[in-house]
A = this chain, B = another copy of it.
């Protein structure tokens, strides 16, 4: 690595002190215009650029936001990152990303970022309940922390959540409004926060409509394609019949169910209506009716909250619910119903 130009080289060349050069760099108004030009000239001629490391040390800040995602998020949360970057870049903040492999790893990452003062703020996709203590202690040490997805109980720090309950409610209500009554629900993992909330929304919608949510119609899934396929198959094997509609806790399972049905010769939505949750890319291409999770907006919201926290502002609201909007497409049979001129009368 070639020796680089430092601030002192500028001092010599411009014949001023380090303080003055520093002032010029930092756009301080306390410099004579003539001096400034002289210094700028030296800077340009020597090709000087301040060392990030030295600045960090002297100013006791990093101009960096740490982002910690579980690696299982995959391309799924890339939009969140994009959103964070959009607003961070605007304020000249850097982003350091880390993908955690499991909760132990998350703990290490959070601790490292905070304790080595590697970042001014952290955005954490908070999937594991077990991470709570580390997060709390980071906050206690004065780190600005923004949570994505779910709050840490008892911790007052900005938290960006998905409105899972209303989203799931809307999806279920949509199916009910279309006249479906025997509706199956493919759940997510029982220990997953989003899954729990979506289930809650499902219950609420069913209750309101006065339709029972029976055990045979609640299928245990785990967000994976295989789990949905199996759930569907075992229902078919056992009952030799289909529900009128299926609502899956996420798109991956909805799509998998859709494919499985088609493999068995059933048509969607003619024989069974399907609705998912997330609105991943494939959902649009497949005409899957689903609930859209505004990933990018969650990212921008998180970054804004982080920047505010850094500036010491207390957040206006500590937990922010991002609206989850129902995207009506083919798979739920809304078009079918409309073309019949009336809600599908069934069951």
Q: Which residues of A contact B (CB under 8 A)?
A: 1-2, 4, 47, 49-54, 56-57, 60, 62, 64, 71, 74-79, 81-82, 85-86, 89, 94-99, 115-118, 141-143, 255, 259, 280-282, 285-286
Contacts and interface: CB of A to CB of B under 8 A. Distances in A.
A141 B97 CA distance: 26
Contact of A285 (B4, B51, B86, B255): B255
Nearest to A67: B97
B74 A117 contact: no
Given A51-B116, A78-B78, A117-B51, A95 B94 contact: no
A89 B95 contact: no
A318 B210 CA distance: 67
Which of A47, A74, A77 lies at the interface centre, i.e. has the most chain B CB atoms within 10 A of its CB? A74
B281 A117 contact: no
Contact of A53 (B56, B77, B82, B142): B56
Contacts of A285: 255, 259, 282, 285-286
A231 to B, nearest CB: 18
Contacts of A85: 71, 97-99
8 contacts: A1-B142, A53-B60, A64-B96, A77-B78, A85-B98, A86-B99, A282-B282, A282-B285
Nearest to A109: B89
Contacts of A96: 64, 94-97
Contact of A78 (B75, B98, B282): B75
A97 B97 contact: yes
Contacts of A53: 53, 56-57, 60, 62, 117
Most buried by B among A78, A118, A143: A78
A306 to B, nearest CB: 15
Nearest to A141: B2
Contact of A98 (B4, B62, B94, B118): B94
A156 to B, nearest CB: 17
B74 A79 contact: yes
A49 B116 contact: yes
A118 B52 contact: yes
The 10 closest A-B pairs by CB, nearest first: A75-B78, A49-B115, A53-B56, A78-B78, A282-B282, A75-B75, A1-B142, A52-B116, A53-B57, A282-B285
B52 A54 contact: no
Contacts of A98: 85, 89, 94-95
Contacts of A4: 117, 141
A78 B80 CA distance: 11
A117 B2 contact: no
